Amino acid sequence: MGEPTQGDDGRVWDPLVRLTHWTIALAVVVNGFLIDGDALAHVWIGYTALGLLALRLLWGLIGPDNARFASFPISLSGAARHVAGLTRGEHREYPSHNPLGALMVYALWAMLLLVSVTGVMLDGEPFPEHESAYSQHNDNEEEEDHEGTEVIENMHEVSANLLLLLAVLHVGGVVLESRFSRRNLVRPMIFGDKS
């Protein structure tokens, strides 16, 4: 949902931004719709998405201007002004994402982080049970562990569904913004240059 401006090299989105964007999008679609949540591939795709998110967040600190967080700050009032301007037929260019697109980016990243962290919590047993004198579990502890796992599973499922919903809204927003601005916003995310 962004309307980036070109950098000095003629590029709008650098290769790392494009790579992380499309690879994370593919991971979300595959894990959300195609692979069973209990499959090992689901776990590894989740770890890959988390690693790519970490890379993208680091790039937001050290990358080129369009990729940096400073070029698309969170602004609820800016997002409201942007929507109001679009409804009046006004269009403004931004150095990176427009204010509404910036909100979506941060919402997607936050939800992906929550999905990934809860997935990691479900995948790993930090303290596996061993039959020894030092790790005896009584029935109450096992019941509490099961309840905790169930809460994490519910958080993982709800956040995964919210992530898919945000992704659909993101695609819809890109389509609408492309129509309002009369610019193809997908092309720069594929090829890097402004259409």
Distance CA 157, CA 126 (A): 21
Which is more confidently placed, 186 or 94? 186
pLDDT confidence band for 141 (50 / 70 / 90) = low
pLDDT in tens, 110-125: 999 999 999 999 886 5
User: 115 in a domain, yes or no?
Assistant: yes
Question: Is position 31 within any domain?
Answer: yes
- Give yes or no for residue 184 having a pLDDT over 60: yes
Say which CATH number the domain at 105 has.
1.20.950
Please report the pLDDT score of residue 112 as a whole number: 97
All residues at 6 or more sequence positions from 36 whose CB lies less than 8 Å from its CB, including other chains: 42
Gap between the Cα atoms of 157 and 165, Å rounded: 12
Q: What does pLDDT average to over the chain? A: 84
pLDDT-derived band at 138 (thresholds 50, 70, 90) equals low
Q: What is the amino acid identity at position 42?
A: H
Instruction: Tell me the mean pLDDT in the region 24-34.
Output: 96
Q: Does residue 136 lie within any of the structural domains?
A: no
157 falls within a domain = yes
Q: What was the pLDDT predicted at 113?
A: 97
* Residue 184 is assigned to a structural domain of this protein: yes
In terms of Cα–Cα distance, which of 109, 117, 105, 48 is closest to 74?
105
Q: What is the pLDDT of residues 36-76, one digit of tens each?
A: 988 999 999 999 999 999 999 999 999 999 899 999 999 99
Q: Is the pLDDT of residue 4 over 60?
A: no
**pLDDT above 70 as % of the chain:** 82
* Contact status, residue 95 vs residue 66, Cβ threshold 8 Å: yes
Q: What is the pLDDT of residues 163-178, one digit of tens each?
A: 999 999 999 999 988 8
Which of the two residues, 55 and 92, has the higher pLDDT score?
Answer: 55
6 lies in some domain: no
The pLDDT-based confidence of 140 (bands split at 50, 70, 90) is low
**In-domain check, residue 129:** no
Per-residue confidence (pLDDT) for residue 24, from 0 to 100? 97
What band does 137 get if pLDDT is binned at 50, 70 and 90?
very low
pLDDT bin (cut points 50, 70, 90) of residue 195 is low
| Boundaries of domain holding 49 | 15-124+143-191
Place of tokens 């982080």: 113
Tally of structural domains, the chain: 1
Residue 175 inside a domain? The answer is: yes
